[in-house]
Amino acid sequence: GPDFGYVTREPLFEAITSLDSFGNLEVSPPVTVAGKEYPLGRILIGSSFPTSAGRRMTRVVRDFLCAQQVQTPVELYSDWLSVGHVDEFVTFVPTSDAKRFRMLMASPAACYKLFREKQKEGQGEATMFKGKGTAGSFGRALTKRVTINKVLSNDILVRQNQYVQCCIDWNRDILKKELGLTEEDIVDLPALFKLDKQGKAVPYFPNMVTMIVLARDLGIPKPFGPVVGGECCLERRTRSLLEPLGLRCRFLEDVASYHGRLGEVRCGTNVQRRPFALKWWHVTP
């Protein structure tokens, strides 16, 4: 349409993978890192672990992004995920304080902490996935009643999420260094994953980090977490973390439309942004 343009970069010989999809291309808010300003933020892309021979975004696209210079890319480790996109473990939301934003990260550790709190409160039999029947897009997870107690006693799931947390923490350290962030700039949202037959991670319940950000309104995948006192405790915890920042949380059911296909709300939506007042073509790298 009018006032929109695009470019294409197509590999001649490399195979295209899921990492070439643009859930694996994000950009941070404006940051200053060790005195260097990035007024248009920095590009974030997911890749294989530096010492491994896993999946990477095709070279022709990586070279194109690196050539932009003013948004110098940060390459993260996302090949541990089945889909392999950076937006499965990190996103950014606006705030009105001096920092102007927070970085949100998926956190199995935060989820296990919350579930243990609820178990100690006597809520261990609180049920997940209520209202989703006994089959469908959650697959085998719904063939039996899933409770906080069962999740916490599932040693395989615990070990898998310890591994996932290590992968996320590796990226956390990179992002703190490359975006000039501190722990106070990061909000951990509860998340759980499980490993597929290839040893890659997929969300155990809809992944709230893979939300759509509409200014201060957040379209968040409805997690269908344990219901405590008539309310999903995952939704309650997320509201308690984000609403004090001036954000409004809207939990959207995306199980049949996206989650069942290894996606979430963000994967099938987009936002038309207002252009920068800054003349970006005048920015000096």
Active-site positions read 267
Q: Alpha-carbon distance 19 to 6, whole Å? A: 19
Both tokens assigned to 65: 């992004």
Residue with tokens 């219901």: 227
Q: Taking a C-beta distance cutoff of 8 angstroms, is the pair 48, 54 a contact? A: yes
Strand 248-252 relative to strand 217-221: parallel, antiparallel, unpaired? Answer: parallel
Round to whole Å and give the CA distance between 85 and 169: 16
Distance CA 163, CA 178 (A): 23
Q: Give CA–CA dist 164/115, Å, rounded.
A: 17
Instruction: Mention every residue, 6+ apart, whose C-beta is less than 8 A from residue 252.
Output: 219, 220, 221, 222, 265
In terms of residues, how long is the chain?
285
Question: Which element (helix H / strand E) includes 104?
Answer: strand 101-107
